Structure 1
Amino acid sequence: MIANLNRYAATLAGIALLLMAIVGALDVVGATTGRPLVGTHEITETLMVIAIFMALASAQQRNAHIRVELFTRQLSPSLQVALSVFALVCSLACFALIAYFGWSSTLRSISTGEFRQGQLGFPVWPARMALALGSTLMVLQCLREIFVGLTTRSRAEQP
């Protein structure tokens, strides 16, 4: 189930990247003809948050985040798993805080009708919701991997 949610979120991130490219291209074409696209900055800002946060859990699931293994390669497999679980717990704590405050901020933004000032009055809540949802997916992915890591470690320690 988490894998499917991550895939849908990553698809949404890809769509956001595609839309950013289209909006940027339209703005450049418009600027050369004297009519730049109104609200390009605000739209791109929101799409950037969607692209980044909606892809986090999928990258974690595929083990695609940057990792320095210079020293950990030399450790025993059980110690490597233990360090990996520790790193996941740290990630879980950070993303749980981001998710908590992200959801709080999203609900506040929706209830107050918060808009970003700029060329185009743009609601703030979609970007905040993407941050909160992506962080929540990352928390779920970390929990899943911690569980897998702990069960793997306990199996490795059995005689």
Structure 2
Amino acid sequence: MVLRKFAGEGLRGTVEFTEILLVVAVFLGMTGAETTRTHLRTPIVVERLPARLGGWLIASGLIVAALCTAWTTWASAGSALASFQSHEIRYGLLGLPLWPAKATVPLGMFGFTVALAVHAFSAAQAALAGRSASDERGNVL
């Protein structure tokens, strides 16, 4: 705002940079949210079930989620590679390359997939032992 006020124009390309940084923040943040267990949880149904059944339901849901995110990782990696090979750019004032943002998507999704798989394994272990798959805050162990 200061630059626009005194120079008569703002920073060039801020919209393009903001769009790219938003993609980076979202997709790299998903792994961190799942790892720290701050991602969305809804334990209200599972906590009313017997521990073993609830654990298997949680593990099953996490396995399905991991398979879906693995597929998304694969698909988005192909898109990122095509973007890199074609030198795809974001049309705007600066013509920024899009492949760095597109490469962030499969990286973030891969980390998210791994975190889901680890949590699925933990939930399955808890179910086998007859323990609840959630801690006192409702987070999957």
Common topology (TM > 0.5): yes
Which category describes the TM-score, using the shorter chain as reference length?
0.7 to 0.9
Alignment: residue pair count: 130
TM-score (norm 1): 0.75
Residue 42 of structure 1 corresponds to 16
Alignment match of 1:116 (pick from 90, 99, 117) = 90
Shift of 1:30: 2.8
Residue 94 of structure 1 corresponds to 68
Question: Structure 2 counterpart of 1:156, which letter?
Answer: G
Residue 3 of structure 2 corresponds to 30
Q: Which runs of 4+ in 1 moved over 3 A?
A: none
Q: Percent identity?
A: 28
Q: Which has the bigger relative contact order, CA under 8 A and spacing at least 6?
A: 2
Within 5 A, what are the aligned runs for 1:1-159? 28-33=1-6, 34-156=8-130
Shift of 1:90: 2.4
8 Å contact kept, 2:54–2:127:
no
Q: Structure 2 stretches of 5 or more lacking a match? A: 132-141
Aligned in 2, Cα 1:139/1:154: closer, same or farther, shift over 3 Å?
A: same
Q: Structure 1 stretches of 5 or more lacking a match? A: 1-27
* Structure whose residues are more often helix by fraction: 1
